[in-house]
Structure 1
Amino acid sequence: MSQSQWQWENATAGAVAGFATVAAMYPLDIVRTRFQVNDGRATNYPTYKNTAHAIFTITRLEGLKGLYSGFFPAVLGSTVSWGLYFFFYGRAKQRYSKNREEKLSPALHLASAAEAGALVSLCTNPIWLIKTRMQLQTPLHQSRPYSGIYDALRTILREEGWTALFKGLGPGLLMVSHGAIQFTTYEELRRIMVDYKERKRKSESDSNLLNSFDYAVLGGSSKIAAILLTYPFQVIRTRSQQQRPSNEGIPRYMSSWHVVKETARFEGLRGFYKGITPNLLKNVPASSITFIVFENVLKLLRRMGRND
């Protein structure tokens, strides 16, 4: 198999995995985003007691449509992000493993994941900004709601300029550590699991040793580690990207550092972990779905490539 074919197989499998993940878990993403921006001072966002209450309230006030606000940019962003991530990650791993017969070390896995994450963040930040804005449109929202992704893009460019599309990029780049931690943990746990199963069944190849349940466990475990260590960056990015009303006497966030100072001042450490429960409920199973789909689609593509 050529190097370019291997990279595009990774990209295709990643894009399919990203789409499947968003479609399955999206309502919890809405809840997480609304928890993240609610600092108790703005009145244009509803207050929810917990995740279940949030889902019930959004459904009652906004209908099922409310649970899928911003779904199109989320699907677009996730599909593009995962496709690019696995593509850049595969390229980086191949480059680092050149002339190396042994498997990559944890440090090189970390470097590959960090490189891929930084490139993806730069490419997709405008999509995530639009998704966040559309997720936060509620019946209490005071500005004109966006009618769709194109209207959102056009309005943001007209009213705020092109630089607004990169709000939250700073914490987004810091969140590269999230993917780096997740993928390094995944690769190391995968290696341990494969080594263990190889001792049990030496006749089988690496690709046949692990099944979908194994990928689910690996994906979920690696996601938990990444979320616990990097969640504050997500809160900072989301708050940087929101539109705060200026007529309530509450200053808008001017920068990511301003978000950090205001959150620490008014909410303390707890403020940096708002929405972590729906985030875990969404992302742990979502990560399992992602890696199940990715690994199985990759197997299918490689099998088809060998048959050509």
Structure 2
Amino acid sequence: MSEKKTLSPLYSITAGTIAGISECLVFYPLDVTKTLVQLQKGTATKQSTFTVLKDVFKRGVAYKGISSPLAMEGFKRSVKFGATTEFKKFYHKLNPSFFKENSVNVNVASGITSGIIEGFIITPFELVKVRLQDPLTKFKAPKDCLNYIIKKEGYVKLFSTGLEAGALRQSVWNAAYFGSIPWLKSFIVPKSLTKEDPKYHQKMLFSNFIAGTIGGLFASTVNIPFDVVKSRVQGAITEEAKLYYRSNTFVTIFKIAKTEGIKTLFAGWTPKVMRLAPGGGLMFLMFEGMMSFFKKINGIEE
């Protein structure tokens, strides 16, 4: 029996890149809003998400710092989708009975693994982005910020500041997102749907978008404490702040909950969900659509 024909990893990397850049361009202002909300410290009255979002557009900073994440986004999403796709193959071959094709188990395991890799990739980009988005920033462009970090803090800090929290954030998000999608689709896709249905592709597109949106909502909710810590660690400029946030991620989560309340660990949830719920739907829709196209031109049946 011949081995099932599959696409080269290059195709899933390309599809992931296109999906990531599309999501970033559409939803970036909400990322700026999320970071600004998360950087509000203490127990004093804080501005609401919609107040911050309105102010972001009023001050003309809705796309401030986008060159850094845009440069990162294609690479990051190519890893998210490309590496996850390849790890799914790896884990399935490793233990076919436990890691069944497109099962929750294989999706969670591959999502965690690709998330760790993502953490190493995104850290310097995220550090520059957070420093630029800080309302008290003195930097006008990513290059200024990057040069300052290298000169004052060094190359090691550029790649290590927020690395642990960032890797945990990505791993938890990927595990929740990719792990929930096959389960969600088992409920969303009609059991009676077949490829002979004239509206098969439209129904699958709709199902992919809904599953991706719900998966994005779930993933964004469970990983946000790690996101808050990452923003705080990377936004720490003073020596006092750096000392406060130098503990490991879980100790820092406990510190924030104890001094500012558990609610603070979910700071930025609204703009994050406003971005990554529909953003998750858009990404999955774009990725699946591109992969279907690539399979079609390569003569591979889905």
Q: Normalization by structure 2: what TM-score?
A: 0.85
CA spacing shift, 1:302–1:201, aligned 2, 3 Å: closer
Which residue does 2:117 correspond to in 1?
Answer: 119
> What pairs with 1:149-228 in structure 2 (closer than 5 Å)?
149-165=142-158, 166-175=160-169, 176-194=171-189, 196-197=190-191, 199-201=192-194, 203=196, 208=201, 210-228=203-221
CA deviation profile, 1:181-234 (whole Å, cap 9, x unmatched): 11010122234445x44x3436469x8484322111001111122122221111
Change (3 A) 1:6 1:40: same
Q: Is the 8 A contact 2:102 2:182 kept in 1?
A: no
2:63 is the alignment partner of 1:68? yes
Native 8 Å contact 2:216 2:278 kept in 1 = no
Determine the structure 2 residue equivalent to 1:255.
246
What one-letter code is carried by the residue in structure 1 that aligns with 2:218? A
Identify if the C-alpha distance between structure 1 residues 224 and 74 changes in structure 2 by more than 3 Å, giving closer, same or farther.
Answer: same
Give the whole-Å Cα distance in 1 for the aligned partners of 2:54 and 2:223: 28
Alignment of 1:79-158 (within 5 A): 79-98=74-93, 100=96, 103-136=101-134, 138=135, 141=136, 144-145=138-139, 147-158=140-151
Higher relative contact order (CA 8 A, sep 6+): 1
Q: Contact 2:88–2:101 at 8 Å: present in 1 too?
A: no
- In the aligned structure 1, how far is the partner of 2:196 from the partner of 2:125? 46
Residues of 1 paired with 2:66 and 2:116: CA distance? 24
Relative to structure 1, is the Cα distance of residues 256 and 83 closer, same or farther in structure 2, using a 3 angstrom cutoff? farther
Aligned equivalents of 2:268 and 2:109: distance in 1?
29
Looking at structure 2, the residues matched to 202 and 251 of structure 1 have their Cα atoms a distance apart, in angstroms, of 57
CA distance in 2, matches of 1:177, 1:270: 19
> In 2, distance between residues paired with 1:89 and 1:74?
20
Indicate if the aligned counterparts of 1:171 and 1:256 stay in contact, CA closer than 8 A: no
Amino acid at match of 1:36: Q
- SS for the counterpart of 1:306 is coil
Give the percent of matched residue pairs that are identical in Structure 1 and Structure 2.
Answer: 23
Report the CA distance between 1:23 and its aligned residue: 0.5
Matches within 5 A, 1:267-282: 267-282=260-275
Deviations 1:119-148 (A, max 9, x none): 111122111111111111x3xx2x631x43
- What is the one-letter code of the residue matched to 1:292? L
Aligned to 1:10: 12
The residue matched to 2:8 in structure 1 has which SS?
A: helix
Tell me the distance in 2 between the aligned counterparts of 1:256 and 1:26: 30
Return the alpha-carbon distance in structure 1 between the equivalents of residues 183 and 153 of structure 2: 44
**Count of residues in Structure 1 that have an aligned counterpart in Structure 2:** 289
Q: Which runs of 5+ in 2 are unaligned?
A: none
Shift of 1:155: 1.4
Q: Does structure 2 retain, via aligned residues, the 8 Å contact 1:37–1:242?
A: yes
Kindly tell me: are residues 91 and 22 of structure 1, through their superposed partners in 2, closer, same or farther at Cα, counting changes over 3 Å? same
What is the aligned-residue RMSD (CA, Å)? 2.8
Go from structure 1 to structure 2 and tell me whether the alpha carbon gap of 1:282 and 1:74 turns closer, same or farther (over 3 Å shift): same
Q: In the alignment, which residue of structure 2 is the partner of 1:20?
A: 22
3-state SS in 1 of match to 2:295: helix
Show the counterpart of 2:293. Answer: 300
Asked if structure 1 preserves the Cα contact closer than 8 Å seen for 2:232 and 2:245, the reply is no
**Structure 2 CA distance for aligned equivalents of residues 76 and 304 of structure 1:** 28
Change over 3 Å in CA distance of 1:299–1:260 after alignment to 2: same
Say if 1:21 and 1:289, in contact at 8 Å, map to a contact too: yes
Instruction: Note if contact 1:13-1:293 (Cα within 8 Å) is conserved in structure 2.
Output: yes
CA 1:228–1:41 in 2, change beyond 3 Å: closer, same or farther?
A: closer
TM-score, normalised by the number of residues in structure 1 = 0.84
Please give the secondary structure, in 2, of the residue aligned with 1:157.
helix
Provide the C-alpha distance between the structure 1 equivalents of 2:246 and 2:168, rounded to a whole number of angstroms: 14
Contact 1:14 1:83 in 2 (8 A): yes
**CA positional deviation for 1:58:** 2.8
